[in-house]
Structure 1
Amino acid sequence: MRDYSRSWVAAARTSALVVGIDPSAGMLHHWGLPDTAAGARELSLRVLEAAAGRVGTVKPQSAFFERFGSAGIAVLEEVLAEARQTGLLTILDIKRGDIGSTMAGYADAYMNPSSPLCADAVTLSPYLGFGSLAPALEAARRWGTGCFVLALTSNPEGAQVQHATTSGGSAVAAEVVAGVEAFNAEVGSPLAGVVIGATAGETAKYLGMDPAGLQCPILAPGFGAQGATVDDLERVFGDSFRSGRVLVNASRSVLSHGPDRTALQVTMDEISRVLGQRLRLD
């Protein structure tokens, strides 16, 4: 059985940076590549080549492959396999969330090591109720695949649901975080993490959460192109960031430097350096 809870710690020691692989139509055009599955493949493999040995984790966005149908899915399978070969961890951004056998089907597709679409970790949406994620959490327990559950995301529309108060008086986002921490305590390992945006500011505290005190890994979107800085990361996440529990996602701020491998590597190195200056790893 794999154990993502061990792997993400090692990856964070290589770099807190998680490089997004987002072959959107706009990014492919920026790179001078066709808006096809072949173009997505070229961009993705170039990013993997640049990232190998520099960062610990990459995050392919599934939607940008799915839009090409079966050809795009085949490319995604190749990207996941190539990342594995180069020693990079993968967080597959799928944001799946469903109930019963359907959720179990998603878990089998993306978390079962026998599937060609299996990643080291996946993103999950709990907004059909945290309990609806039970099949995916069971898959994590069974196979050691990690998962990051959306809690307090960086998009402003998320507040409509995430800031809402449950019948028990807690914010929805806070209950999601509590559910993840409870699962990890039950299995005795931080297999599950949460997604909290680096742009959250003081919102987490207002909603009754303490990101600085979490023991689970935190995937933090919003850095770079969305405006969050290293100071924001330290302000929002405190000790969680300084001790290496925050994985900082950057996509456009890396990919916008174009297809030149050296330019990509210099950008990754600089972001990793800036993040690393604030870390206090044992």
Structure 2
Amino acid sequence: MTGTTEPFGARLRRAMDERGPLCVGIDPHASLLAEWGLNDDVAGLERFSRTVVEAVAGHVAVLKPQSAFFERFGSRGVAVLETSVREAREAGALVVMDAKRGDIGSTMAAYAESFLHREAPLFSDALTVSPYLGYGSLKPAVELARRNGAGLFVLALTSNPEGGEVQHAVRADGRSVGATMLAHLAAENAGEEPLGSFGAVVGATLGDLSSYDLAVNGPLLAPGIGAQGATPADLPRVFGDAVGNVVPNVSRGVLRHGPDVTALRAAADRFAEEIRAAVASV
């Protein structure tokens, strides 16, 4: 970390305490554009993204654009993404770029610079990354995130059924791959207060996770609320004592209320309050 840049974990903790622990996804896939009455083109993409940012960036803790839905339009789509990231951060939301990057050496370093260098057009507060070329392959991203007060969310126990064949595989030491990723993150966050900057992606649809040590002293980004079937009320059962560090992600559950700005904001507010209540019940 350089200068007086405040770590992502500290900024996230404050945002969650002030705005509630909700992350709203910005997922402008073709079907949602159609539901909003928008064309599946750059103009529709821009209208969709600007509307979501206008509706919720001043109210929720985190916005999570899915980069693939912007990249599919080429350079013009990426330009829309740059604008969305900048405007969301200006409105006070933290931005987690959902790009799931993962590679080795100089290529991983280049991915990190694309999203975690403070001068990069796509600089985001945190980035989702894949550790399945080995956790050590993420070192360039870890180091750059530390220097720039940014964070990472590492895929550990994801909500997609296919993930289990890798994440639940058992290593020679008897520990699963997913548990190993959680242990690495706990080591990264050791001694950090009030919250470490290196979190895990852990699906809210996975049921009882009491066999895993989720106490990584970092945030747990939890997809699966809403369209995938999980509800805010499920969070204490899934995450147990770690629920206070969970950042539940809701995408379609909020986005389906567009393009009306008031309706989008009201949906986000409802989810935020339901999540607050669920966390407070523990």
TM-score normalised to the size of structure 1? 0.94
Paired residue type of 2:269: D
1:34 to partner: Cα distance:
1.1
Aligned match of 2:88 in 78, 83, 86? Answer: 83
1:148-181 Cα shifts (integer Å, max 9, x gaps): 0000000000001000011221100000000011
Aligned to 1:217: 219
SS in 2 for 1:277: helix
Aligned to 2:9: 5
Aligned match of 2:234 in 232, 235, 243? Answer: 232
1:216-259 Cα shifts (integer Å, max 9, x gaps): 11000001110011232110112222x3x110100011111120
SS in 2 for 1:93: strand
Aligned match of 1:200 in 192, 203, 206? Answer: 206
Aligned to 2:41: 36
SS in 2 for 1:278: helix
1:143 to partner: Cα distance:
1.1
Aligned to 2:128: 123
Q: Distance in 2 between matches of 1:75 and 1:232?
A: 35
Q: CA contact under 8 A between 2:168 and 2:177: conserved in structure 1?
A: yes
Paired residue type of 1:87: G
Q: Distance in 2 between matches of 1:7 and 1:174?
A: 26
Unaligned runs of 5+ in 2: none
SS in 1 for 2:189: helix
Paired residue type of 1:32: G
Unaligned runs of 5+ in 1: none
Q: CA contact under 8 A between 2:159 and 2:205: conserved in structure 1?
A: yes
Paired residue type of 1:216: G
Runs of 4 or more consecutive aligned structure 1 residues displaced over 4 Å after TM superposition: 186-189
Q: Distance in 2 between matches of 1:12 and 1:96?
A: 25
Identity of aligned residues (%): 51
Q: Distance in 2 between matches of 1:136 and 1:187?
A: 18
The 5 Å alignment of 1:164-175 reads: 164-175=169-180
Aligned to 1:72: 77
CA RMSD of the aligned region, Å? 1.5
SS in 2 for 1:59: strand
Aligned to 1:146: 151
Q: Distance in 2 between matches of 1:12 and 1:26?
A: 30
